Amino acid sequence: MRVLQLSKFGSEHLSVTDSPLAELGDQEVLVSLEAASVNPRDSQIIAGQFATNVQFPLIPLSDGAGTITRVGSAVTRFVVGDRVTPLFFPNWLSGEAMAGERAVSTGLEAPGVARDLGIFHEQSLVAFPKHLSAVEAACYPCAGLTAWSGLFVNAQIREGSWVLVQGTGGVATMGIQLAKAAGAKVICISSSDQKLEQAQLLGADHTINYSDTPNWGQRAFELSGQGVDAVLDIGGGGTLENSLEAIRHGGHINIIGYVAGIDMGVTVFPLIIKNAHLHGIGTGNRDSYEQLMSFVDRHQLRPAVAQTFPLEQVKHALAALDNDRPFGKVVIDFAS
């Protein structure tokens, strides 16, 4: 099978090679992988900025999609022909991760999806809706589930809720679509007027250019009347103050990224005054992912895909993600 391997840190050490396929276990299935999306975490892992204790050679990328071509003798969840995505955390099936369910993640501790064929335990896979292509389905395991966990598991948004989304990357664009499908009002911030126009086409009700409006939290509070119900906070330390300004009393801030800094640096007073809920989001469990897939199916949603690349051009895909800050997701299409 064709496999993308990282021999040591640095994208220059990525190479496509042939590798033998292991024997199929009783509760395992063989998946012909057709696509894999690229996340900031993947880029950080490859660059050596995410974890230092990595076993090389590493098969990177956490999010993929494909078709089951063989099943083990004891498999009950799937049949040949089912189209599936592997879980980001293959052992986190339900509830809180209290017993090490997050110790193994795809594309780091477990082999990733940058390969033609993959053997997976049947419990670590979820079927995806028929209207999605493999390229589209590969966008959901990390970015889609992260947005879902923040908005629906924690904040429990519904029709009439207000949501503030930071940026226009994978999690943000997923957040816009999911919130709008639920009947919520969405505010999107970005420093690019062009991307804000794209966000409106995707469903955002209001947009704010944060370069022009540094106090965007106050503006979001005004637009929503009494403050937003939930924030998808991509910036981290550099955006938390404005996020606190934006939320209603008892509102939810879902901390997803740290592109604007890792130091939170706020006093307790705004937290107490707003009765704020701060959530650190690390994707989610299989139960939540299956709920997400049902929601995507029910509303016939399709993710915003910015660019696709063949497997041999994964370095270009990483560069596009890191340097171009694309609107939506960057995906590796194995058929390209």
Give pLDDT tens digits for 11-34.
999 999 999 899 999 999 999 999
Other C-beta atoms lying within 10 Å of the C-beta of residue 29: 25
**Angle, vertex CA 59, rays to CA 140 and CA 65, nearest 5:** 30
- Residue 154 backbone phi and psi in degrees, to 5: -90, -55
The pLDDT of residue 292 is: 98
pLDDT single digits (tens) 26-70: 999 999 999 999 999 999 999 999 998 899 999 999 999 999 999
Q: Which domains, ranges and CATH numbers included, belong to the chain? A: 2-139+303-333 (3.90.180.10), 144-280 (3.40.50.720)
pLDDT digits (tens, 9 = 90+) for 194-211: 999 999 999 999 999 999
Q: Read off the pLDDT of residues 291-326 as tens digits, 9 standing for 90 and up.
A: 999 999 999 999 999 999 999 999 999 999 999 989
pLDDT band at 267 (very low <50, low <70, confident <90, very high): low
Most distant CA pair in the chain, distance: 61
**Tens digit of pLDDT for each residue in 169-181?**
999 999 999 999 9
Higher-confidence residue: 179 or 241? Answer: 179
Q: Which strands sit side by side in the sheet containing 206-209, from one edge to the other?
A: 206-209, 185-190, 162-166, 228-233, 247-255, 277-280
Residues across the chain: 336
Share of the chain above pLDDT 90, in %: 88
Please report the pLDDT score of residue 260 as a whole number.
44
Tokens of 266: 């706020």
Question: Which pLDDT band, with edges at 50, 70 and 90, does 72 fall under?
Answer: very high
What token pair was written down for 43? 């880029």
